[in-house]
Amino acid sequence: MEVRDIFGKVFAGERIGRDEGLFLLKNADTTQMGSLADYVRRKHHPEGIVTFVADTNPNYTNVCDTECLFCAFWRPAGAHDSYTHSVDKVIEMMRTSYHNGATTVLLQGGHNPEITLDYYIEIIKRTKKEIPGLHLHAFSAPEISAIAKYSDLTTEEVLRRFWDAGLRTIPGGGAEVLSNRVRKKISPLKIDADQWMKVTREAHLTGFKTTATMMFGHFEEDEDILEHLDKIRALQDETGNFLAFIPWTFKPKNTFLERKLPNETGGDRYLRVLALSRIYLDNFVHIQGSWFTQGAKIGSLSMYYGASDLGGTLFDENVLCCAENKIRSTVDELVHMIRSAGFVPAQRDTYYQVLNRF
Ligand code: SF4
């Protein structure tokens, strides 16, 4: 196998296989991967638009019984700095963000056995009724599984109840790397890769649109990255309900893994994986670049490695801010970042529809 043969396949519009993806990740130059990813991005987005969303990311609780080793956010029940917000408080936070210009709220939280199903249903219904201009994008697959477990329901039933209450999109969080070998090391109490895929498939079949994520840069091998990409590509073939793929890198600060893995994944590895994602996921319209974990410079470069979206403005990003990730950006800064890189900035909604070009 040669890198140029794989390039030839992509230029001919053919899908590459898992072995070929692995070969690229192991052997291609980073710049070679970038140019191929850029070719694929241009096929999907010939007009050169790069989008972002004005969003907010509050958390309703930091109490969690899943204790992921990579997570700096969770607290045990009863800890002095644990919290669970009332529905009123969550609505108030969302209303403030809406008045500050957010169009989407990405709402997630820990797995707190004390919270009942009614709490989630009330949040969904009240957001729709009281802040109709704000789109609620909430409750990842592991949260759905935890809610089902605590409520003695199936995940399908929880999804149906959420759909009937008015929820329409679900974030693709909690995927980390969809390889059970890796998950055992970083999140042994969390749902495994098969469960994540099952809940996401159920969500798609219920009618939800979701994103897919991947958090890498810990114990995964290249083979695990390909396993992850292959799983979500196959599900996208089946349902078509993934809106975007969002890879980002592990931030070790203040986590249980910090002593074993003190160094953050660098820009080169991030850009290689991003580029591979763009090349491999031929059935995804959008690949998202991660300016908030990699910083503005790599965020700018990400647009030349396959990213056609830069995610959100992320006010109230508690999970990452606890890992001392203090990077914040405003709409103006994102517009500047995109324009300076030579692309056309555009604000989008949760469905990746363009609202406003700059
Ligand atoms: S990543 Fe989510 S499930 Fe895991 S410990 Fe943190 S809050 Fe809990």
Measured CA to CA, the distance from residue 2 to residue 180 in angstroms comes to 30
Measured CA to CA, the distance from residue 321 to residue 343 in angstroms comes to 29
∠ Cα 164 144 107 (to 5°): 80
Closest ligand 1 atom number to CA of residue 70: 1
CA of 73 to the centre of ligand 1 (A): 7
Q: Count the neighbouring beta carbons within 10 Å of the beta carbon of residue 280.
A: 31
Q: Which amino acids bring their CB within 6 angstroms of ligand 1?
A: 64, 66-68, 71, 73-74, 110-111, 142, 187, 190
User: Residues 352, 51: contact at Cβ < 8 Å?
Assistant: yes
Closest ligand 1 atom number to CA of residue 187: 4
Closest C-alpha among 83, 80, 89 to residue 64: 83
Per-residue pLDDT of the chain (358 residues; tens, 9 = 90+): 899 999 999 999 999 999 999 999 999 999 999 999 999 999 999 999 999 999 888 999 999 999 999 999 999 999 999 999 999 999 999 998 888 888 999 999 999 999 999 999 999 999 999 999 999 999 999 999 999 999 999 999 999 999 999 999 999 999 999 999 999 999 999 999 999 999 999 999 999 999 999 999 999 999 999 999 999 999 999 999 999 999 999 999 999 999 999 999 999 999 999 999 999 999 999 999 988 788 889 999 999 999 999 998 876 555 555 544 433 457 888 999 999 999 999 999 999 999 999 9
Exposed, middle or buried by CB within 10 Å (0-12, 13-18, 19+), for 156?
middle
Burial 10-31 (b: 16+ CB within 10 A, else e): beeeeebeeebbbbbbeebeee
Closest ligand 1 atom number to CA of residue 190: 3
Taken in order of first residue, the domains within the chain and their CATH numbers are 3-357 (3.20.20.70)
Measured CA to CA, the distance from residue 339 to residue 357 in angstroms comes to 11
CA of 59 to the centre of ligand 1 (A): 12
Measured CA to CA, the distance from residue 107 to residue 87 in angstroms comes to 12
Question: Nearest C-alpha to atom 2 of ligand 1 is from which residue?
Answer: 110
Question: Nearest C-alpha to atom 3 of ligand 1 is from which residue?
Answer: 66
CA distances to 52, 245, 287, 306, 338 from 335, rounded to whole Å, are 9, 21, 18, 18, 5
CA distances to 36, 38, 185, 211, 307 from 271, rounded to whole Å, are 12, 12, 24, 20, 10
